Copies of this chain bind each other. A is one copy, B any other.
Amino acid sequence: MRAVFLCGGRGQRMSPISEDKFLLDFLGKPLLVHQIETAREAGLIHFVIIGNPQNIDRIKQMMAKIPGMRFDLALQEEPLGIADALKSAGAFLHGQLLLINPNDVFSSSAYSKIMAEAERATACAYILGYQVRRYFPGGYLEVNSENELLHIVEKPNPGDEPSNMVNILIHCHANPENLLRYIEGARTTRDDVYECALDDMVKKGHKIKVIPYDEFWAPIKYPWHIFKVMEYFLDKAEPCIASSARVSESAHIEGKVILGDNVRVLENALIRGPVYIGANSIIGNNALVRDYSHIGSNSVIGYCTEVKHSYIGDGCWFHSNYIGDSIVDDDCSLGAGAVLANFRLDEGNIQMKVGNSLIDTGYDKLGAILGRGCRIGVNASVMPGVRVGPDSFVGPQICLRQDLAANKTALLESLYGVEDNKTRLDESKRKELLDKLKG
Interface residues of A (CB under 8 A from B): 250, 252, 262, 264, 267-268, 270, 280, 282, 285-286, 288, 298, 300, 303-304, 306, 315, 317, 319-320, 322, 324, 331, 335-337, 339, 341, 343, 345-348, 364, 373, 375, 377-381, 383, 391-393, 395-401, 404, 407-421, 423, 425-427, 429-431, 433-434, 437-438
Q: Is the CB–CB distance between A337 and B381 below 8 Å?
A: yes
CA distance A345 to B332 in the complex (A): 11
CA distance A395 to B344 in the complex (A): 10
Question: What would be 24 A-B contacts, judged by CB atoms less than 8 Å apart?
Answer: A282-B437, A282-B438, A286-B286, A288-B303, A300-B437, A304-B304, A315-B430, A320-B339, A322-B337, A336-B339, A337-B337, A337-B379, A345-B377, A345-B409, A379-B379, A379-B380, A381-B396, A391-B421, A395-B416, A396-B399, A410-B417, A411-B417, A411-B419, A413-B415
CB-contact partner of A306 in B320, B420, B429, under 8 A: B320
Q: Is the CB–CB distance between A383 and B408 below 8 Å?
A: no
Contacts of A322 in B (CB 8 A): 319-320, 336-337, 378
CA distance A252 to B341 in the complex (A): 30
Contacts of A345 in B (CB 8 A): 335, 375, 377, 393, 395, 409, 423
Nearest chain B residue, comparing its CB with the CB of A324: B336
Q: Is the CB–CB distance between B397 and A381 below 8 Å?
A: yes
Sorted nearest first, the 6 A-B pairs with minimum C-beta distance are A322-B336, A397-B399, A346-B423, A345-B375, A399-B414, A339-B378
Contacts of A343 in B (CB 8 A): 335
Contacts of A375 in B (CB 8 A): 345
Distance in Å: Cβ of A286 to nearest Cβ of chain B = 6
Q: Is the CB–CB distance between B378 and A381 below 8 Å?
A: yes
Nearest chain B residue, comparing its CB with the CB of A401: B414
Contacts of A404 in B (CB 8 A): 418
Q: Is the CB–CB distance between B383 and A434 below 8 Å?
A: no
State whether A425 and B373 are in contact (beta carbons under 8 Å apart), knowing that A252-B250, A282-B437, A416-B412 are contacts in the complex.
yes
Q: Is the CB–CB distance between B419 and A407 below 8 Å?
A: no
Contacts of A315 in B (CB 8 A): 430, 434
CB-contact partner of A399 in B282, B379, B392, under 8 A: B379
Distance in Å: Cβ of A183 to nearest Cβ of chain B = 44
Nearest chain B residue, comparing its CB with the CB of A426: B347
Nearest chain B residue, comparing its CB with the CB of A430: B315
CA distance A433 to B264 in the complex (A): 15
Q: Is the CB–CB distance between A425 and B286 below 8 Å?
A: no
Q: Is the CB–CB distance between A421 and B409 below 8 Å?
A: yes
Distance in Å: Cβ of A94 to nearest Cβ of chain B = 44
Contacts of A300 in B (CB 8 A): 434, 437
Contacts of A437 in B (CB 8 A): 282, 300
